[in-house]
Amino acid sequence: MKHAAPNRGRGFVTLDGLRGVAALSVVAVHCDRAFGDLTWASISLAVDLFFVLSGFVLAHAYEAKLRNGSTAFLKTRWIRLFPLYILGTALGVFLALLAIRYETGVLEWTWSGLLTILPFALVMLPAPGTRLFLLDPPMWSVFFELVVNVIWTVVWRPLQSTRNLVLLVACSGVGLVLSTAYFGPIDELGRQWSNVAGGLFRVCYPFFLGVLLYRFHDRWVIPKVSPLALYAALLIILFLPLPPLGKLLAGMFVLPSLVLLGSATQPKASVATLSHQLGEASYGVYALHLPIYRLVYAAAAKMGWNLEGFRPWVGLIGLVPLTVGCILLTRWYDKPLRDWLTERLNAPRSPEPVTQAP
């Protein structure tokens, strides 16, 4: 049975807010010297939310257009992701050069190590070693985002059958469960070469579940929940010290439920504005926060400032300029560069009717 095309004229502003809240939460867990040790929390599950959101919003924006050819879609996706990715990578290179020059930094760098990694990083590919993306570590999930986009273009035609889509989601879910049994907790999958196979299931299950949820969201009666309540629920989930089984269940069922609930409600007035701004900043925040954090603390150490004595306040206050700066970067750097790349590569323009999918 093939699905009927849902209404594509509606935006999903609440999903913007969910993405923004998740991105800011990731900053907190990665920037431990600014916020304190949060490794006990479940914030890494934000990535699983990103993957569900990606499947949902890409189905909204592109599913009907894939029949016109997959090459155009993949060009558009690469253009969407590349500008902020390459900026984060450039900051990572700068940090590596500082570490080599002054023999200091979070990571120990050598010229041979940097020159080995750099060619892979420039083309958005993981490099040999332990972790996939040392120059800007969070970019492992963006790589998997591109991988699942390629998979979607290969199998989109049989997935026009809802039965086939359900079967793919179910098989991916089984693969995800088995991956956690073999490799370890869900929030570790895909970060390192040792568990990269599990990362494939980690992205396929939520992405194609997001496609499935989009296909049915207009047909189901979904309760109306306040957007602020959904944002609060997301924060509670991400900051709970969940055991491995709890993380798996949250990633597979609870976070997708938040996306489905968020698709059925729209914030009003100032909450809508805030949600949209958070969504606009989210990819920049995710792509750039770690190199910016390392640069700030390298500068603070050089000047003899002990910022760690002011955590978590220095981190919380720092979220404001980070968010505002990423909004400005999106408008003044990311979008103009995407427009330029679109013209140079003769790619279709990326529709932006809903929350952006990085």
pLDDT digits (tens, 9 = 90+) for 211-231: 999 999 988 989 999 999 999
Mean of the pLDDT values across residues 152-169? 96
Compute, in degrees rounded to 10, the torsion defined by CA atoms 63, 64, 67, 70: -40
Cβ 279 vs Cβ 54: under 8 Å: no
Q: Is the pLDDT of residue 75 over 60?
A: yes
pLDDT at 2: 52
Q: Which residues of 63-76 are buried (b: 16+ CB within 10 A; e: fewer)?
A: beebeeebebbbbb
What is the pLDDT of the chain when averaged over all its residues?
A: 92
Determine if residue 239 is left, alpha or beta; phi over 0 gives left, psi from -120 to 50 gives alpha, anything else beta.
alpha
Global confidence as pTM: 0.94
pLDDT at 4: 47
pLDDT at 358: 57
pLDDT at 7: 42
3-state SS class at 97: helix
Compute, in degrees rounded to 10, the torsion defined by CA atoms 248, 249, 250, 255: 110
Say which range, 46-50, 110-114, 179-183, has the weakest mean pLDDT: 110-114
* pLDDT category of residue 346 using cuts at 50, 70 and 90: confident
Q: Is the pLDDT of residue 24 over 90?
A: yes
Q: Which residue has the higher pLDDT, 10 or 54?
A: 54
First vs last C-alpha separation in the chain: 31
Cβ 207 vs Cβ 150: under 8 Å: no
pLDDT at 129: 84
Q: Is the pLDDT of residue 6 over 50?
A: no
Residue boundaries of the structural domains of the chain: 13-344
Question: pLDDT tens, 85-123?
Answer: 999 999 999 999 998 988 766 678 889 999 999 999 999
Q: Rounded to an integer, what distance in angstroms lies between the CA atom of residue 358 and that of residue 351?
A: 13
Q: Is the pLDDT of residue 8 over 70?
A: no
Q: Rounded to an integer, what distance in angstroms lies between the CA atom of residue 207 and that of residue 358?
A: 12
Q: Is the pLDDT of residue 354 over 50?
A: no
Cβ 348 vs Cβ 76: under 8 Å: yes
* pLDDT category of residue 10 using cuts at 50, 70 and 90: low
pLDDT at 101: 86
Question: pLDDT tens, 231-271?
Answer: 999 999 999 999 999 999 999 999 999 999 999 999 998 99
3-state SS class at 2: strand
Q: Give the CA distances from residue 356 to residues 11, 156, 175, 318, in Å, rounded to whole numbers and listed in that order.
A: 11, 21, 28, 24
